[in-house]
């Protein structure tokens, strides 16, 4: 793991060897980068991040086709305990996944999963009325960089990039294309995330 500066995959700590005794804390405007080796680790990362989330939170995901944005969102949905399945919302644009039924905390937030890939600009995003559900949901916007920032002054911005290994390449898929390693940069914007501990360490179990 590194904080700020350039990402060096040779020195990044793989998630399978993250220590468990000192969770990193976010500060306003800070960022950190972790190495994720597999699709299951990406989903597990989403579960971990979800444990810090609450109604009103906004997450903006960026990364190319097949980077793993939807895989990460599936993990967030797992962690929030919402109804699935969670799939790429490219053609539906936005889906609402309510909390699971009896036995679950009825005050738990829903997950609003949106995809801005086919939107022509901020006005089209406004037409989705995502801000209507924002206060009662965790909102995740794929391809939201440069479009969704106006939804909230407090947000997590997560950028996912593949780490090239030889001639390996990404397929054109909206989900994680194989188990190529990724670098995931998590940036906090606004006071909401000041001092929040991200449970990224000790990620050993494969859930």
| Domain span at 21 | 15-193
Quick one: which of 17, 50, 45, 20 has its CA closest to 32? 45
pLDDT value of residue 117: 76
152 in any annotated domain: yes
Structurally, how many domains does the chain consist of? Answer: 1
69 located within any domain: yes
Residue 45 belongs to some domain of the structure: yes
Q: Which residue has the higher pLDDT, 157 or 202?
A: 157
Mean pLDDT in residue range 60-82: 93
2 part of a folded domain: no
146 vs 53, 78, 95, 149, CA distance in Å?
A: 22, 27, 21, 7
Q: In whole numbers, what is the pLDDT of the chain averaged over residues? A: 76
CATH number at residue 25: 3.40.50.300
The answer to whether residue 206 is domain-embedded is no
Q: What angle is formed at CA 59 by the lines to CA 134 and CA 111, rounded to 5 degrees?
A: 50
Q: Are 40 and 154 in contact (CB under 8 A)?
A: no
Does pLDDT of 188 surpass 80? yes
The answer as to whether 5 is a domain residue is no
Q: Full-prediction pTM beyond 0.95? A: no
Question: Beta strands 137-142 and 110-115: pairing type?
Answer: parallel
Is residue 124 scored above 70 in pLDDT?
no
pLDDT digits over 125-181, tens only? Answer: 666 667 677 788 999 998 878 878 888 899 999 999 988 665 444 444 444 555 778
């Amino acid at each position: 793991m590194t904080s700020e500066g350039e990402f060096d995959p040779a020195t990044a700590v793989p998630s399978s060897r993250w220590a468990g005794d000192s969770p990193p804390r976010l500060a306003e405007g800070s960022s950190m980068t972790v190495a994720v080796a597999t699709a299951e680790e990406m989903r597990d990362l989403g579960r971990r991040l979800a444990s810090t989330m609450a109604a009103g939170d906004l997450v903006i995901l960026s990364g190319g086709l097949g980077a793993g944005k939807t895989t990460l969102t599936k993990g967030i949905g797992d962690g929030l305990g919402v109804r699935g399945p969670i799939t790429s919302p490219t053609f539906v644009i936005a889906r609402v996944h309510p909390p699971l039924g009896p036995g679950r905390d009825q005050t738990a937030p829903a997950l609003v999963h949106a995809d801005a890939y086919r939107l022509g600009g901020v006005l089209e995003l406004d037409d989705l009325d995502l801000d209507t559900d924002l206060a009662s949901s965790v909102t995740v916007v794929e391809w939201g960089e440069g479009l969704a920032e106006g939804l909230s002054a407090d947000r997590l911005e997560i950028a996912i990039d593949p780490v090239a290994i030889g001639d390996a390449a990404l397929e054109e898929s909206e989900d994680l294309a194989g188990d190529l390693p990724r670098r995931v940069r998590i940036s906090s914007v606004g006071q909401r995330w000041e001092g929040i501990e991200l449970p990224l360490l000790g990620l050993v179990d494969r859930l």
